[in-house]
A and B are shown apart, each in its own frame.
Chain A
Amino acid sequence: MIGAMLFTRARLHIDDAIREWIDTQWPWLVEKLKMGDLAEHLVIEPTNEFFPHKWEATREAVENLFHTVVEYAEVEPSRVELGLLEPQDEMPPALVKKDDKFVLPLEISELRDPAVTVAILSRKLALLRLMDAGLDLKRDDLPLLMDLACVVMGLGIFNANAAVPQVPR
């Protein structure tokens, strides 16, 4: 299919229902996340320019990466903290309320690839911003909305590169 795409007229590879869902949610997200003009925001790239701190398997490096992503997600740093966990039998929640902060639980097994770590953290921070916007957390499309919010927030490159081929998460 990809080979054929190179020589044919442009077409979309999503069905109309999915396109309409994205078209409907896009302006809603831009408004609810108070993004304004998207041209005035950065699109975050996996480069040393955007991530100047050296990546290594140390607490300091992980914290540096965390604080960098929090800044790019435009979340107040004092509201969040990183919670590193040993691998769990069950997937930890995206966010855990702790006093006046939110802890972002992250299994240490998810630290092997810093780009994937950025994708995971971006999704958690997108959820926090959606909660701030008053999103109904019982929405059936919440997982897809979190992914789309990452794109609106300029962090979509990481999530797109970590995505699966066809089956929506």
Chain B
Amino acid sequence: MNWPMYGYALAKLAKARGEAKPAWLKHLREDTKLFTREAIKWLSTRPATAGDKA
């Protein structure tokens, strides 16, 4: 997968764990971190799906 795909996948992981601001984001390289933050924000506007915590 490429950086934007990882960003979306990691955002789904955060949502499934109920993490709006995951502490583990700081370990991502800056570009992927930005894609992940964007995707977390985007997902927060979407209805929850099966398995989501938030």
Contact = CB atoms under 8 A, between A and B. Distances in A.
Interface string A2-28: 100110001111100011001100110
Contact of B28 (A6, A147, A160): A160
Contacts, number: 115
Interface in B10-54: 10, 12-13, 16-18, 22, 24, 27-29, 31-32, 34-35, 38-39, 41-42, 44-45, 49-51, 53
A159 interface: yes
Interface residues of B, number: 34
Given A10-B38, A157-B27, A38 B4 contact: no
A103 B45 CA distance: 44
Interface of B: 1-10, 12-13, 16-18, 22, 24, 27-29, 31-32, 34-35, 38-39, 41-42, 44-45, 49-51, 53
27 contacts: A2-B31, A5-B34, A10-B41, A11-B38, A13-B4, A18-B5, A18-B8, A22-B9, A27-B50, A38-B13, A38-B17, A43-B24, A147-B5, A147-B9, A148-B1, A152-B13, A156-B13, A160-B6, A160-B10, A160-B28, A160-B29, A160-B32, A161-B29, A163-B32, A165-B2, A165-B31, A168-B5
